[in-house]
């Protein structure tokens, strides 16, 4: 099981964005702003869909990684933290009561 998680990637993106390193894809993407980063996010989403419907497992994993990376870049550019998205998912889970139903079933 990988120890890598999105919180770590979010921290890496923040650090690379601040670095201004011209060899950093993240820093260059940040310099171009949200429209370009959002366009890349859309492209990666489409490539992920294509991999899924093509039943290309290896490509689905690779495009999913690209998608999550570019999604976090767009969030960072817009000042939205991963934690805020997790809180929204947590609220929805609490509202649906799905975990209580599962624990009652045993
Ligand atoms: N996870 C990623 C990651 N996923 C995808 N990419 C980059 O996203 C780019 C987009 O892929 P494309 O195939 O669309 O590239 P492209 O066709 O050259 O792009 P365009 O022609 O459309 O501009 C590639 O150049 C990848 O390197 C990433 N770049 C960085 N990271 C993470 O960010 C960290 C810091 O990277 P740097 O900012 O480059 O130091 C890395 O250690 C990784 O953890």
Mark the ranges of the chain whose per-residue pLDDT is less than 70: none
pLDDT at position 104 is 84
The residue ranges of DSSP E strands in the chain, in sequence order, are none
Q: How far is the CA of 25 from the centre of ligand 1 (A)?
A: 5
List of domains in the chain: 6-80 (1.10.287.1080)
Q: Is the ipTM of this complex over 0.90?
A: no
Cβ contacts of 40-45, under 8 Å, gap ≥ 24: 40/70, 40/73, 41/67, 41/70, 41/71, 41/73, 41/74, 44/70
Q: How far is the CA of 24 from the centre of ligand 1 (A)?
A: 8
Q: How far is the CA of 65 from the centre of ligand 1 (A)?
A: 10
pTM: 0.91
Q: Is the CB of 62 under 6 A from ligand 1?
A: no
Q: Is the CB of 19 under 6 A from ligand 1?
A: no
């Amino acid at each position: 099981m990988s120890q890598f998680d999105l919180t770590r990637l979010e921290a890496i993106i923040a650090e690379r964005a601040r670095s201004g390193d011209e060899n950093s894809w993240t820093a260059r993407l940040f310099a171009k702003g949200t429209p370009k980063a959002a366009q890349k996010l859309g492209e990666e989403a489409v490539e992920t869909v294509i991999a899924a419907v093509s039943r290309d497992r290896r490509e689905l994993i690779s495009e999913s990684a690209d998608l999550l990376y570019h999604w976090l870049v767009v969030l960072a550019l817009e000042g939205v933290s991963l934690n805020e998205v997790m809180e929204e998912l947590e609220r929805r889970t609490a509202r649906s009561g799905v975990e209580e139903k599962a624990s009652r079933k045993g």
